Amino acid sequence: MTTKTPSFPAYFLSTLLLIPTLTTACGDDDGTAETGVEASTGTDASTSAAASTGSEESTGADESTGTASLEIIGEWYEALSPDDGITHVITEATWEQSSSFGTSLYHIDAFDDEARWVVARGDAANEFFPDLYSRFDWTWANNVLHYCTAVFDAATPEDAIAGAASNPDDLEMGCGGFPWSPLVSAQ
């Protein structure tokens, strides 16, 4: 992938996203979440802290073990300029973003691989929006992972899930009026 200097809107978006990170996401059609949060449609989340609402599903669970697996686990790099960027390390439990601006850690509360979103609580030590919830949406285009911080300051996981939807069909302006951020594998 060729690295290019982002345009003003892309740079502004990246800078805006760094404020909560130094900090993109969509709701799903059936309301399921993979770990611990009941989506706003009332369908039950399945892997941890599932409430009894009648419909218990696990989208993306490993059938042999019954555990969910987040699709985008790995180490990723987001180029902000030819000489600067953000390293994203995503595990089942956390999403860490590190750059020359600093490091922010998010504790994953829920995710849905089918709907392609992660809801995570900002670490108490984060400089911006500590202990608030973010929703990171992701999509794939031409085998490139793109993410959008759709929500960065929700009081609850449910508020983050219910936040404004991003548009994965519009990578130029579909992230709250800004471009989605491409991530390349750093592994």
Span 40-79, pLDDT tens digits? 333 333 333 333 223 333 334 433 344 569 999 999 999 9
**How many domains does the chain contain in total?**
1
- Range of 155's domain? 8-185
Give the pTM: 0.68
Q: Is residue 88 part of a domain?
A: yes
Nearest by Cα to 114 from 183, 63, 172, 57: 57
Q: Is residue 2 part of a domain?
A: no
Distance (Å, whole) CA 102 – CA 129: 14
Q: Please report the pLDDT score of residue 30 as a whole number.
A: 38
Span 5-33, pLDDT tens digits? 333 333 333 433 443 333 333 333 333 33
- What is the DSSP secondary structure assignment for residue 14, as one 8-state letter? H
Q: Please report the pLDDT score of residue 67 as a whole number.
A: 59
Q: Is residue 99 part of a domain?
A: yes
Distance (Å, whole) CA 24 – CA 82: 22
Pure H helices in the chain:
8-21, 157-162
Q: Are 15 and 27 contacting, i.e. CB atoms less than 8 angstroms apart? A: no
Q: Is residue 45 part of a domain?
A: yes
The pLDDT of residue 130 is above 70: yes
126 pLDDT tier (thresholds 50, 70, 90):
very high
Q: Is residue 3 part of a domain?
A: no
The per-type count for the chain, helices as H runs and strands as E runs, is 2, 8
Q: Span 92-108, mean pLDDT? A: 97
